[in-house]
Structure formats: C-alpha cells, structure tokens
Structure 1
Amino acid sequence: MNLVFSDLTIVLPAFLAGLLVLATHIPLGAQVLKRGIVFIDLAIAQIAALGVIIAGSGQLDPHGWAVQVAAGSAAVLGALLLTWTEKRWPEVQEAQIGVMFILAASAGLLLVAHNPHGGEHLQELLAGQILWVSYAQLPMPALGAAVTLGVLYFFNDRLARLGFYLLFALAVTVSVQLVGVYLVFASLIVPSLAVRHYRPGRKLVFAYLLGIGGYASGLVLSIVLDLPSGALIVWCLSLLAMLVYSAGPARSTAAASA
C-alpha cells in the first residue's frame, strides 16, 4: 500500500504538468491543423531546445530565469523568421519549416559534441523527463497556460499569423522544458488529428479526454514497466487516438453536418 502511494506521489506532479501542456496544446494544435502548418510545432520546439542548449553551455542554472529567457528568445526569433519566410515564399512554407527544424537540431548536436554530458542533455530535451517534474516547476507553466488560453479565448480566429506564431512560440518554450520535443508534437497534433471528423461542439471534449487518458496511462505504465515515460505517453496517445478516431462518427456524416 505504501509502495503504491509512493508511486502515485511521483506520478502526480508529472500528470499535472501533462494537464498544463494539454490545456494549451490541444486548442493550439487545432489551429495548426486548420492553418495547414503541421510541422511548425516541431520546428519551434527544436529552436526553443536550441536556446536551452546555448544557455546551458554558459553553465547557467537549467531551471533559472536566464535559461527561460534564452529559450523564449530563440523561439520568438524562430517565429519571426517563419512569419517573414511565409510572406516571402508562401508556396514552400512547409519545406522552410522543415529546413529550420533540421538546422536547429543539427546546431544542437554541434553545440553538445564536446560536452561529456551533452548526449544525456539532448535526450532529455527530446524525450523529456516528465516523470521527474517537481511541483516547484509548475507555477510558471500554469501562468503561461492561463495567458495563452485567455488570448485564444478572446481573439481566436482574429489572431494574425504573426500573433499566432508568437503565442505558439511562447507556449512551446515552456512545454518543451517540461515534457520534451516529442511530447510537445504528440500533444499538439495527435488529439486534434483523432477528432478532426467529430462535430465542432464535441471536438475539444474528446480531444482533452484522449490527451488526459494518454498521459495517465503512459505515466502509470512507465512506473509498472520501468520504461521511459515520454515514449510510453506518445504511444498511449497514438493508440487511444486510433480508437477515438475509429469510434467516431462516419466521415460522410461529419462532413454533412459541418
């Protein structure tokens, strides 16, 4: 009994971190699919991770404000660059997003090449260490989530492309340090992809339920099986997404009602 309770106390802050990520990433993911810029999240998340790596090379506190500023600045610069490239060459924007992702990823590899702990740090940024999130790390993401949801609620479709990119960049900056690049992408895309043929009034509800179920089952399995939590959550999200998609309304019915 004590062992089970101890396991739950480990999982609880990680689960709360997952809820904070889902709170903003599900509506942002719906916007990403609607705007047709699916891989922007990977690019911005990787750029934010690059900012963390650059700050880390200066021996800064990994949870200090300087690292947050570095990651946020890198993500905002990436968002500004993507806005510029879209205006200049809109017909190849997805390709430009992909190039930006691979450049940021390659730059991260180069920066940690001579760091004895570089590989471990890079893996943490990609796969995340959500299981070891502490309560002390949650207030800032909670504030960021509240601001992001407030902007989405009051502006929603009225957000210009630059405004959306900047809001997206700041949201991803926080989440990538909590859960890693892989979970950022999965949280943004997988739930929204699974419910895309649902009726508008039900999309968000089922997307959130899917996300909550994916995080909860992935975290529990990671304790039981002693496997990496981030990777298991990605798989749990994906498997649940298949079930939600297949159990949803027929595509023809959904299309007719839309």
Structure 2
Amino acid sequence: MTLATMDLMIIVPAFLAGLLVLITHVPLGSQVLKRGIVFIDLAIAQIAALGVIVAGMMDLDQQGWLLQVAAGSAALLGALLLTWTEKRWPEVQEAQIGVLFILAATGGLLLVAHNPHGGEHLQDLLAGQILWVRYEQLLIPALGTVAIVAILLVFKERLRRLGFYLVFALAVTASVQLVGVYLVFASLIVPSLGVRNYGKRARLPLAYLIGIGGYASGLLLSTIFDLPSAALIVWCMAILAIVAYASTPKPPARSAN
C-alpha cells in the first residue's frame, strides 16, 4: 500500500462523518434561514458542547452512550428554553439566541478553568477532530440521522416551533462531537446561503453538492498540506458557495410593453 493510498484511507471515515452531518444539516439550514434564526445552530451546538464538558467532569466514557445522553439532554434543554423565549419575546429572539450562546461558551471556559487539558478540550469541541474519526464512532450518529431524516420527510416544512427546535437539538448533538462547532455552523448555513436565489427544486441538490465538495476538497487539501482539516473544509465550502451564488441564473428580462 502506497503512502498516498494510506492517506486516502485515513480520510474516508472523516468524509463519511461529513456526509452524515450534511444529510440533516442542509435541509435544516434552509429552514434556519427562512425562520431568521441564523445563530441558533451556534447556540445549540455550544450548549451540547457544554453537556460534553460536564460529562467529562463526571468521568463518563468519552465514546459511550452516556456522553451522548448528556450532550443531548443539554441541547434539548436549550431547545426548550429557546422555544419559550421565542413565544415570550419573539421580537428579540435572535438577541436571546446570542446571549444563550455566549453564556454556554463562557460556562465551558469556567468549567475547564482548573483542568490542565481544558484548553485542548475546548479547541477539540470548537474545531473538532474530524480527521481522526473512527468507523465505530459513526454508528450512533448514523442511527440518529435516519430518525431525523424520517421526521423531516414526514413533516417536511410543517414542523412547528417546538418540534423544529427539538429536532434541531438532536441533529446538532451528535454532529458537534464528530466535527466540532465550526463545521456544524458551516454545514448548516453556508450551502443554504449559496443557493438561496436558485429555483426551489434546484436548491437542495445544489446545497448538498456544495457541502460534499467542501468536505471532500478540504480533507484532501489538509492531508496534502498538513493544515487543520476543519478550517480548510469551512473555506472550501465557502468558496464553493460563493461560486454557486455568483452563477445564479438571472431572471428573464421583463418586456417593456
């Protein structure tokens, strides 16, 4: 086996992890833009990360199901809180989401302040360690993806406020542990931004292509140039989204008559 083949074998599980994230996050991202709550993913992802930190302080297995329960419970509590705030003060919901994000982020800083490896742990949760994902780590996220896709197919865009927030929280819970907060945000928002002016039928397939192309090119470039995978994936995805947006078909000119 050549060195090049070995490098490609290393990134296969990472690429599969990216695909799992994209399957649910691309359609959810389009709804996030439509609802005007762009930063909800950052807030929920950061709350899920806070749950992971708390689970780590309790010495739970970092690959076990109890960790998933801790992260999922934290994300669901955050979703319930945001459901209540949107109902109570809808005019400032985006600001409330931002406040919740910063509280979760700084809460994590406080919890790991006396941990000698706290900074490294926070970095892993933010930027992720997608290049080191193993096949066995994909089982629980894959099962969750199947359940979320089934819900989205049944309800499509008819999910009400509470249902949307809860589904969103479940989707983000596993994703943030696989790819980190940065890639969760990018996977949700960037593809949907790039295709927002396309026709309704073209948006979803094109958004998936942007996401898949971003993960594939970012992972390949990271192995070639030995650069951080998550950062390169975000940049590759953003470039593809810009190209897609710039290539948006122009509407036909109206007749002067």
Question: Is TM-score (shorter-chain normalized) higher than 0.5?
Answer: yes
Q: 1:211-233: per-residue Cα shift (whole Å, max 9, x none)?
A: 11000000001101101100110
Structure 1: distance between partners of 2:249 and 2:49:
38
Residue 142 of structure 2 corresponds to residue 142 of structure 1: yes
Residue 240 of structure 2 corresponds to residue 240 of structure 1: yes
Q: Which residue of 2 aligns with 1:219?
A: 219
Q: Which runs of 5+ in 2 are unaligned?
A: none
**One-letter amino acid of the counterpart of residue 138, structure 1:** L
Deviation of 1:196 (Å):
0.3
Structure 1: distance between partners of 2:55 and 2:23:
27
Deviation of 1:158 (Å):
1.8
User: RMSD of aligned C-alpha atoms?
Assistant: 1.1
Q: Which residue of 2 aligns with 1:184?
A: 184
Q: Which residue of 2 aligns with 1:195?
A: 195
Q: Which residue of 2 aligns with 1:37?
A: 37
Q: 1:71-91: per-residue Cα shift (whole Å, max 9, x none)?
A: 000000000000000111000
In the TM superposition, 1:108-187 aligns within 5 A as 108-187=108-187
Structure 2: distance between partners of 1:143 and 1:107:
30
Structure 2: distance between partners of 1:77 and 1:60:
20
Deviation of 1:157 (Å):
2.0
Deviation >4 Å, runs of 4+:
none
**One-letter amino acid of the counterpart of residue 193, structure 2:** L
**One-letter amino acid of the counterpart of residue 73, structure 1:** S
Deviation of 1:253 (Å):
5.2
In the TM superposition, 1:7-18 aligns within 5 A as 7-18=7-18
Q: Secondary structure at the match of 1:248?
A: coil
Q: Secondary structure at the match of 1:159?
A: coil
Q: 1:144-174: per-residue Cα shift (whole Å, max 9, x none)?
A: 1111111011102221100000000000001
Q: Which runs of 5+ in 1 are unaligned?
A: none
Deviation of 1:140 (Å):
1.0
Residue 86 of structure 2 corresponds to residue 99 of structure 1: no
Q: How many matched pairs?
A: 253
Q: Which residue of 2 aligns with 1:86?
A: 86
Per the normalisation by structure 1, the TM-score is 0.96
Identity %, equivalent residues:
73
Structure 2: distance between partners of 1:76 and 1:191:
25
